[in-house]
Amino acid sequence: MELSEKLLEQFKKDFATAKTYNDLMGKEGAIKKLMKTSLEAMLDAEITDQLGYTKHSPAGKNSGNSRNGSYHKTVTTDQGALELEIPRDRNSEFEPIVVKKHETRLGAIEDKIISMYAKGMTTRDIQTHIEDIYGLEISPTLVSQITDKINDLAIQWQNRSLESIYPVVFFDAIHFKVKDDSTKRVESKASYTCLGINIEGKKDLLGLWIGEAEGAKFWLSVMTELKNRGVKEICIACIDGLTGFSEAIKTVFPDIKIQRCIVHQIRNSMKYVASKDQKVFAQALKTIYSAPTEAAALQNLKTVDETWGKKYLLAMKSWRENWEELSTFFQYPQEIRTMIYTTNAVEALHRQFRKVTKAKCLFPNDEALTKMLFLVYRDIARKWTMLVRNWSMVIGHFSIIFDHQVEPFL
């Protein structure tokens, strides 16, 4: 029998007797034993390949190099410390690949399970894939136990200290179906999202909060938490048209500038317009928000209102009533306008959330939803390495326009 077959057979025996998480993933668990034996077997295969002969083979005599025992090395895994015996050669030419020199941290099968869960796979899907890849049978309950370990990380992340200033923060909410623990009823709950652009021009998700429904009162508690976690200044807040939202923000950050999302405003207006007029009406609205100056935009608003106001009173009313917050972006150069006139940045994040969570029609509780969203965010955030486009120019404008807010942090 090949060594790999022996390993798998022994692991299956150990696994068959595993009753708890620790039996499988703990210090003396089956996974850890399998990792140790597998890694040491691979290391032995590596040195055999490099020297050109198997252990104890007479071909090694007078070959110019030979095995020289092994040395002890401790590496860290998600299951704790793993003690390994690393083979060595007399000429010190052996460079192991599977456990590199000076490497002290190794991934594990647990990482694979968490990664699959973060991609939106159900516990039963993960169960099937682990069986297909490794020939191992694990229960959906065990998968849940493994992914539950992420809860502590999510709590630490949610309570971490934040930066003192964020030039721009996008605020929005996304809704999910969640089963209430106390009533056992299925409810629509909002996940409140704060996506910031920090002083370096990089995206930073400030937190995720689960609430009963999107409302100004809950947003006020979110603002208060941001303040308590170290945020002193937010220059511009990009929001949707939720009633009372602006007042909630300014209660905590009184010097903030508010920009209502133009895209949300257009969508709201189009609800009151007959389908036969929507294309022409949308073109008319474009003359407002694409104007070069606020004065020109106001003149175009007057023209559109005179043309369509009587026929579509409600569609135009909100433009007039909310103009102060709809027109904020006209105060800034094009590089900043492009960034703030819509909440597309946070909506793009929400599309990623929805893409991964679409397989889950219902979350069993708030904790399960938080865990899933945190894992998705963690996966996405690895790609947030690029600065916002034209950031050097943007931050230059911010340092002048918001000099008393930004200058101390540059």
Q: Is 281 helix (H, G, I), strand (E, B) or coil?
A: helix
What's this model's pTM, rounded to 2 decimal places?
0.71
**Contact assessment for residue 197 and residue 225, using Cβ atoms and an 8 Å cutoff:** no
Pairing of strands 165-179, 233-239: parallel
Q: Which two tokens stand for residue 140?
A: 């959906």
* Per-residue pLDDT reduced to its tens digit, 81-121: 778 888 888 888 888 766 777 776 665 566 677 777 777 77
**Would you place residue 23 in the very low, low, confident or very high pLDDT band (cuts 50, 70, 90)?**
low
Q: Can you tell me whether residue 112 is helix, strand or coil? A: helix
Is 70 within 8 Å of 87 (Cβ atoms)? yes
Q: Any idea which residue has 């704060």 for tokens? A: 194
For 142-156, write each residue's pLDDT tens digit: 777 777 777 888 888
DSSP state of 292: S
Residue 213, CA distances (Å) to 188, 192, 229, 237, 349 in order: 7, 9, 24, 21, 19
Can you tell me the distance from the alpha carbon of 120 to that of 113, in angstroms, rounded to the nearest whole number?
A: 11
**pLDDT at residue 1 above 50?**
no
* Pair type for strands 233-239 and 203-211: unpaired
For residue 304, pLDDT beyond 90: yes
Give domain limits for the chain. 3-107, 155-409
pLDDT at 368: 85
Two structure tokens written together for 81: 């410390």
Query: For the chain, what percent of residues have pLDDT higher than 70?
Result: 83
In whole angstroms, give the CA distance from residue 409 to residue 163: 10
Distances 312 to 281, 316, 320, 322 between C-alpha atoms, Å: 10, 7, 13, 17
The per-residue pLDDT for range 157-204, each reduced to its tens digit, is: 999 999 999 999 999 999 999 987 777 788 888 899 999 999 999 999
CA angle 334, 340, 346 (to 5 degrees): 140
d(CA 213, CA 225): 18
Residues 212-253: tens digit of each pLDDT: 766 788 899 999 999 999 999 999 999 987 888 899 999 999
CA–CA separation, 188 and 217 (whole Å): 17
Question: What is the pLDDT, as a whole number, of residue 131?
Answer: 72
